[in-house]
Amino acid sequence: MSNKTKRSISPYIALIFIIAVVYFVSSVLTPSSTQLTYSEFKKELKNNNVKTVEISPNSKGATYDIQGELKSSKDNKAYYVVAPLSDDTIDYISNMQQKNNFKMIVSADPTTSFWVEFFINVVPYLIIGGFLIWLFSKQLGNNSKSMDFGKSRARLNDDKDKKTFKSVAGLDEEKEELTELVDFLKNPKKFTAMGARIPKGVLLVGNPGTGKTLLAKAIAGEANVPFYFISGSDFVELFVGIGASRVRDMFKQAKQNAPCLIFIDEIDAVGRQRGTGLGGGHDEREQTLNQLLTEMDGFGTNEGIIIIAATNRPDVLDPALLRPGRFDRQITVGLPDVKGRKEILKVHAENKKFAKSVTLENIARRTVGFSGADLENLLNEAALLAVRRDKDKITMSELDEAYDRVIMGPAKKSHQYTEKERKVVAYHEAGHAVVGIKLDGANDVQKITIVPRGAAGGYNLMLPKEEKYLATKEELLDQISGYLGGRIAEEITFGEVTTGAQNDFEKATHIARSMVTEYGMSDLGPVTFEHQESNVFLGRDYNKSKNFSGQIAYQIDEEIRKIISKQYDITKKIIKENKALLKLIAEALLEKETITKEEIDFLVKNGKLPTEEELKEWEEKQDKKEEKVKKEDK
């Protein structure tokens, strides 16, 4: 049981314990007794059924309190009698005592004082009541926010987590766009004198992990102004109107601390387009959005308050939120290029120890498509592996393994192939490599392994030879051939095919379909038949609009089949012409299980795997060639 759980239930355990103690004390101090009338008591005296009698004046002074035990009581249960306060009562009981010889005690003072009665009858309830008041006050104190339904959940950032633009790497253009906001917050008169109006809102759009939140923190740190941050989901509650109240309270606090920044993370949680969905919209979310729109640009003015919001789904946001006067400026925070990745790696490598053989530039070249968060995770995984292996520095071995773990998951070394399966996987991966080597437009093979990772039986790391933003038709066709190489190698070598090429076919078909329906690279002409309704960078294609007839759909399918079939024949010809190279790479994989780009290059040129010394010499030669090419380019 966690400490938090123990703390939450301990007051209730203490309450139960106190009630039990009070009940026990009360039962001890006030023993149970049978109430008798004075007439019944006299009857018991006559029948000689009285064992003991104790007489004392009542505290009120109007009656006698008589108690004792009866002879007929099996469990020694006491009796209690209230008798008239007179001499006749004492005389009668005395006469019966002489006759029946029972034990009799007469007390001049009341048996129960006022303080004893007070302790027995009042104090236990005071204790229980006081404990309950303390318990509820403590619970309300710990959860005071639960009572403040309409209060803003926005928190003020402290200086402990202060960031500046120096903390943000690889986003030079984005930082340049945001420098205006910093200048305005530092010196607003410079802008107002020119008649310029600074953007009221800036929307940061981009892939998850690209640094949108970090950019917002850096702006606050550079401007040195109050920085309120809140998540879009913090506005939405069960009760209608609570979110709108929180928006009002948030802007009220911001006005008191202007100039300031408000950062709303994942704004799509509250800023979705109104009136969508079956049966109408979401009343609470829509009222919250309406209030946010009014506060940003309504009848009231919020001078000196700049709102920064982040999302990776701008397509679902309400148009009223994106119009000028609200979110005037949209900044796309994209994935970093090789230069940006190198700068990001430098930032995250500051507190880590690397071997001399590790170069951040090589890591940056290999991590195409990685976001800033991915790169940070890559270096962290490498550091964890180095600790696990009892090393004092991070080497390329840990970085290679960390890369594979991030992309495909940990290696399943316990998974045992049959000898035939192992051979099929080796030739399959070698087929990809052969096509990558022989076709200029195909992706370059960086690493091949037949060690299972994730759901894959083998793994072939293929990256573009150059990082480009455009792709030609020939390059796309060569990429399709690269994906088909594994299946064709199986077919040519073993005369049969396996299920291992399923993911390859999926990727090849996706490229072919995009060529036909989006890029206009088929016999159907330069026409777009499908377009994305969701963000391209999210990689979704299930939400495409299709504005064409059934006849066109048939033709699209035919064109896709034609592209795949043509490239299949071309790839088959390449594999048949390079059977010796296919066998060479496959046998090297069966021998070593994992081979890198440098080993593949040496293998292709020399027909054998290099020794450690040969590999070092080969790598040095390749580095010199790269340096020479760079100098010539400059």
pLDDT band of residue 537 (cuts 50, 70, 90) is very low
How confident is the prediction for the chain on average, in pLDDT?
78
Is residue 571 pLDDT above 90, yes or no? Answer: yes
C-alpha span between 595 and 593 (Å, rounded): 7
Cite the beta strand spans of 516-572 per DSSP E: 530-532, 544-546
**Which of 22-26, 165-169, 600-604 bottoms out in mean pLDDT, i.e. has the lowest?**
22-26
Task: Note the pLDDT tens digit of each residue in 541-563.
Answer: 444 556 678 888 899 999 999 99
Higher pLDDT, 632 or 215: 215
Is residue 25 pLDDT above 90, yes or no? Answer: no
Q: Is 1 exposed, middle or buried (0-12, 13-18, 19+ CB in 10 A)?
A: exposed
Give residue 295's pLDDT. Answer: 82
Higher pLDDT, 218 or 444: 218
Inter-axis angle of helices 597-606 and 419-438, nearest 10: 80
Q: Average pLDDT for residues 108-130, to the nearest whole number?
A: 65
**Could you tell me the two tokens for 200?**
């009221």
Q: For residue 416, what is the DSSP state? A: -
Higher pLDDT, 534 or 486: 486
CA within 13 Å, CB half, 378:
31
Closest CA to 504 of 565, 429, 558: 429
Is residue 280 pLDDT above 70, yes or no? Answer: no
429 is catalytic: yes
Q: What are phi and psi of 227, to 5 degrees?
A: -130, 105
Q: Average pLDDT for residues 3-26, to the nearest whole number?
A: 62
Give residue 54's pLDDT. Answer: 80
pLDDT more than 90, % of the chain: 10
Give residue 10's pLDDT. Answer: 64
Dihedral in degrees, nearest 10, Cα atoms 572, 578, 583, 586: -70
The bridge status of strand 329-333 relative to strand 78-84 is unpaired
Higher pLDDT, 565 or 599: 565
Give residue 541's pLDDT. Answer: 45
Q: Average pLDDT for residues 348-359, to the nearest whole number?
A: 85
Q: What is the DSSP string of 7-36?
A: HHHHHHHHHHHHHHHHHHHHHHHS--EEEE
Give residue 314's pLDDT. Answer: 84
> 183-196: string of b/e by CB count within 10 Å (b at 16+)?
ebbeeeeeeeeeee
Q: Which of 270-279, 392-401, 446-455, 598-607 has the highest mean pLDDT?
A: 392-401
**Which of 4-18, 244-258, 492-506, 547-561 bottoms out in mean pLDDT, i.e. has the lowest?**
4-18
Q: Quick one: which H or E segment has residue 230?
A: strand 227-231
Is residue 298 pLDDT above 70, yes or no? Answer: no
Q: Average pLDDT for residues 570-581, to the nearest whole number?
A: 92
Is residue 170 pLDDT above 70, yes or no? Answer: yes
Is residue 277 pLDDT above 70, yes or no? Answer: no
Is residue 517 pLDDT above 80, yes or no? Answer: yes
**Could you tell me the two tokens for 23?**
């009940």
Task: Please pick, among 381, 401, 429, 491, the residue that the annotation labels catalytic.
Answer: 429
Give residue 92's pLDDT. Answer: 80
Q: What is the DSSP string of 441-503?
A: SSPEEEEEE-S-BTTBSSEEEEE-SS--S---HHHHHHHHHHHHHHHHHHHHHHSS--GGGHH
The answer to whether residues 424 and 586 touch, using CB atoms and an 8 Å cutoff, is: no
Which pTM was predicted? Answer: 0.65
Is residue 589 pLDDT above 50, yes or no? Answer: yes
Give residue 513's pLDDT. Answer: 93
